[in-house]
Structure 1
Amino acid sequence: MKLFVNLLLEWQDGTDIARIERLLWIDPSYTDVAIIELLNPKALPTWQKCKDLEEALETQRAHALEIDPYASLLKPEDTIPEKHRERRDQAWDIIAPLVEDKDERIFFSHGRGALLNAWVEKTGCTKMTLYKYLRRYWQGGQTRNALLPLFSKCGAPGKERQSHGKKRGRPNKISQVTQMPVGVNVDDKIREKFSRGIRQFYENAQGRTLQDAFQRTLEKSFHKGYTLSPDGVLIPCLPPAHELPTFGQFRYWYEKERDITHALTSREGKRRYNLRHREVLGDSTQMAFGPGSIYQIDATIGDIYLVSSLDRTRIIGRPVIYVLIDVFSRMITGLSVTLEGPSWLGAMQALENAAVDKVEFCQEYGVEITEEDWPCHHLSEVIIADRGELEGYNADNLVKALNVTVSNTPPYRADWKGIIERNFRLSNDKVIHWTPGAVYKPRERGENDYRLDAVLDLHQFRKLMILAILDHNKEHRMDWYRMDEFMIQEHVEPYPLDLWNWGIRNRAGHLRIKSRDILRLNLLPSEQASVTYRGIRFQGLFYSCDLALREQWFVRARERSSWKIDVAYDPRSLTDIYLRLDGGQRLERCQLIDAEHTFRGRDLYETLDYLETRKQQKELSRSRKQQSSAALNAQMEQIINEGKEQTSTALEQVTGQSKRSRIKGIRPNRQEERDMEREAQAWKLGEKLLPDHSGKVIPLIVPTEASAPEPSKDAEESQQEVSAAEPIAHQEDSTHVSQSQLIEKLHKLRPKMWSDDE
């Protein structure tokens, strides 16, 4: 191996300390070479034979180093501080004549001393300084920058200062005046108190300042005792300030020893740290290989108030905006503007819009475009959402039937889908904030209410968003977009539409196309319904379809039992529900039966609200029913007890009557009771009702003169018997004669009266 100047040789002599030498000079005959040890602070040049060094390299007793430890000194001039350059140039002016004239005497020990002595007399510099400059020049690679001051090595970096009984650090203001050391040195005990105070008062969610944490640390760990205030509170007694550590010392040791990740996480929480303070080393674009690889979807509440299209004097609030954006090209592929809260319904409409023909969609709002202006009518391979609407059973159909993978970000990690989050901000800055009715910062007292400025209805706002999306796709230049080598070669401009078209030509195969009906069927939310003999029962309503009638589902449900089926429904109308057949590739529409005509065209939530109200009313009626049952039971109990008492009294008055005789007389007793009921309940026209002595109303028959018959002798006698019985009834009533006895007397008189009438 050939030798050359500044070559570094490391000797393999078996010692623990490496011995590295630098070649300083080779004589023209290639016989001798001057070398110097690199790590020896007192090293001077020595001479070796060239052949000995070459032999050592060949036998591997030494090997050449490729990396020079002094290579960091070779840096541009504009990166070197001016004061450092001044010191370097000053040292160089002193030794430059010694090293630039290539006088080999400087490398020989017997001639170097005389040469340096003469130079000391000429420059006035000490011999020790000359040796220091020459040694740094030779060991540092024989360049001018080898003389740069090594301030980074000053002060024992990385080692803690020892006090040795003196106050370390900058003198206190009082010390500068009194010339007396003031303050304390921070030792291990004080540092432990600092650490404990930091953990207890600063690195937590309370949000104290470092100054406040320092004060609390002094009160907690540096007090000498307590005093008792008049109201019984213990107040810590602190030593004089010059006997306490300063806030500067507290801050110094905190910043020296702190773990910044742990500190930010402790003060702001893991969620806020990940969102605002974590390192950002990746790029979302790298996740997508081409158009349709990944869509990001998210919703936001528009910062604008709208008016009703039916009555423009009515303010209807703020719309909910859903947007789908292609990660590869930043192309906005789907839009939904509704009044529904952030829900599956809004996400469903945005996904459906991503797959429809945009020319027809824009024509609905009076915007004329061509296919080339917005060539997006597809679903993607992957959709990234935020654990909201696209998590759960509704999103399963995207995976199973439509072959779209759904990936949800962790909670509170909006930065994982920062592309669409940033797009919302661009939409607000470009469109919404300049529109009447836009939401501004909180109103101050006396300012106009921006809600009263609303002028756009929902249809007009959708048109405004369509125009903004078209402008974004065609004119939003992304100079920060990281082009790959193939894009650079083809001079692709960083516009979403240009990137989309380039990706379609060069990286196709990721987009999905489905018919509109199948897409809508698999986007509609699903739930289970029951097949019963009354129909397909869903949300308390009953449906029927041709398939169920052909296959006699309802007859089978009545013969056997009901069973469950999966149905899809549109929450905006309960008139129809849909059966998914053949794995979601075919549908069967079910309609409300005629008995449920009240709910046709009704909203799901309106119907559920009505049914829930009925349940609540039923629950509230429990008190009424219970109270009514209690009243009925009490009245029944009273009547039953009254009957028991009267029957018991009657049985006590009748003696010698056996049980058999009572049972044997049921038929005649029934006949007698029926006859009496017929008489009492018979309709008698022309009679007047008069109250009797007990307050009861009794009929009084008033015959006419023409039709009144002459009373017979037997009738007169019967009437006299009845009249004679009246005083007895009054007498018995006055002595509380039971009602059963009166009835018995009337029974005995009735046959005779009937015979007289005949």
Structure 2
Amino acid sequence: MIAAGNLIEWIETDYMERVLWVDSHYKECYVIRLNPLGEEQVYFPVLRQVKALTSALEEGQAIVRPVDPYMNFPVPSPDNTQAYEDRDKAWELIKDLVKDVPDIYDKTLRWAALQDRMDESGATAKTYYKYLRRYWAGGMTEAALFHAHDRKGGKGKKKSADGSKRGRPSRVSKTLGIMTGVNITEEIEAIFSLAIKVFYNPRKPKSLPKAYKDMIDEWFSIGDITDRDGNKIPLLPSEEELPTFASFKSWYYRSYNTRERLIAKEGKRAFNLKHRPLLSSTKDMHFGPGAIYQVDATIADIYLVSRFDRTRLIGRPVIYVIVDGFSRLIPGFYVGLEGPSWTGARMALANAFEDKVEFCARYGITITKDQWPCQHVPKAILADNGELKSKASDNVVSGLGITLLNAAPFRADWKGIVEQTFNLLNVNAIKWAPGAVHKRERERGEKDHRLDGKLTLEEFTAYMIQTVLEHNQEKYMDYYGLDSDMVAQHVSPYPLDLWNWGIQNRGGILRAFPPDYIRYHLMPKEEATVTREGIRFEGMFYSCDTAMREAWFEQAASTGVWKVPISYDFRSTNAIYLPAENGQGFERCELTPKSEELYKNKTIEEATDYNEIAKLNRDLAGPRKMQSQTEYNAKRQAIIEKATKRTDEELKQSDKSNNERTKEIRNNRREEKELNRLAERHDIGKKPPLENPARVIEMPRKEDGPSSELRPKTTKRDSFLDILDEEEH
């Protein structure tokens, strides 16, 4: 299936095209030829027949590139506010244009739309074309507008205050040669910040020029003069000693982004009322597969057992379900123990965007691609006013170009489709599984239903996969409102049938991204610390080729540690991911051998728990360590005191001078060494003497008769041991 976002590589000509749009009848599509990386060339969208493009793919003339080199992984520094302002500025110019599809791809209609926009914004056609091509080439996401920002010069960066006056000369300077303004130092910036707080932000009806004038009067005057009426008037220095309004304005817009400026100026409530982004209603927006996915979470009415010990109950799992609003098909879900949070929502989204054949195979279930043909990114997601509203979800918006729609609080009816799906799953499957929660009260003497739990988390996930497959393929929705086109083509209201019909007749909404790109933008972002032992994150240490090649760890040992941005998967400690400095791609960092012994194949939560236990044990060992140190210090001190006493006593009895004692060190050392050798020698093979050596007893002879007494045999030697002793000597 050709989808918007696909990167097509033509084998013979070796150039690439991006699919920008596919019509609802799956007959025509717009594509744009991409520049070779690093080269500047102007290309515009062109119209192609889907059938011709599909044939080229089937015949091997072209391929869909699984790895997309034009996709950005932008991670600008949080301090680089200019990068975000440039992106927002570009997006503000083109956001309405790029939504006007397919008209924006038509040359004539595009030029007409641009003429209207240029009159309103004052931007040139060249600027619009630059941003449009950058947006289309980068995968049609806001993140594409970060492109090449890392190669810019010093715009938006703080400059040194030393040297001559920076900036463009004023009209006075150019005309009369009189310098105006001063370079902005840290002290002046501190005054700027205070002036904004005092004169501009407290919701006063003042303009930025008025705040600037009040600041000059308050903090830059060199004294006061008194007029005829006795009024004190601030006396200002000459122009070359004052910061200009242009510098003040530039600092203000560099220090505060649009949201911060509006909130600080008018307050959060007024901002939400007048300036927050307005998302259109969800009514009549389910016009095709992927137009809107609805997502929600619930605690399943079933108790599970541990996979490590089936006698242990682990409670009720959390189920995240994602439903396509057009077809009612379930493109993805997640079963886990994470409470309703961004963590669980991220796992459900990852499942909705991944290949279902591979996913089912992990649970021992074999399906074909047409049984669950969902692995693309939708246009919008509708969720509760909760986890998807967190900052962690910003990467989904900018990186994957998904619009997040949040339902109002206590308005579950806005997500009626996914809410109803929960009920269907519970009625059709969950309530019949062992360990299911029964709504009625347990009668006296009746067995606790929690003790009936038999399924592990993995087995329940496989159970839910079969339930979802049944829902997608066999759920007959007689309540579904078929439109005239569906009725004319005899479409049956099954989720999978509606999905397939929608792809052919209402397609072009779903988009394709490389799997690694999707996973990267769904991962949480944090900061790690570069140290001598490695890149430290949550008490674990990692290394990578870049760190080894650029001698990061040696530098940390020499100049001190520093922070680096990373992404990670909370389910595995085996690796973290370091974004490339130029925003293109990422690098995998592996555990160092030292950390691998303790943390390999663990989850981040397990590693955190282990570190907390280690800290607790260390704290508990404190009293014992202190007592032990006290005890052994006392014993060592006793040895010193005893030796000191004996030595001092002998020194009192000796008549040797200090000079004589030091001269005898060499001879004394030699004699002490000989005595020490005798004391430490090893005597190997010597047998210890027996306390009662055995003696030979002569037995009575026959001729002696029975009256003979037993007596020791008299020989020259008392025993055989005496002979052995003589032989040894």
| TM-score (norm. length: structure 2) | 0.46
Name the larger-Rg structure: 1
Higher relative contact order (CA 8 A, sep 6+): 2
| TM-score (norm. length: structure 1) | 0.45
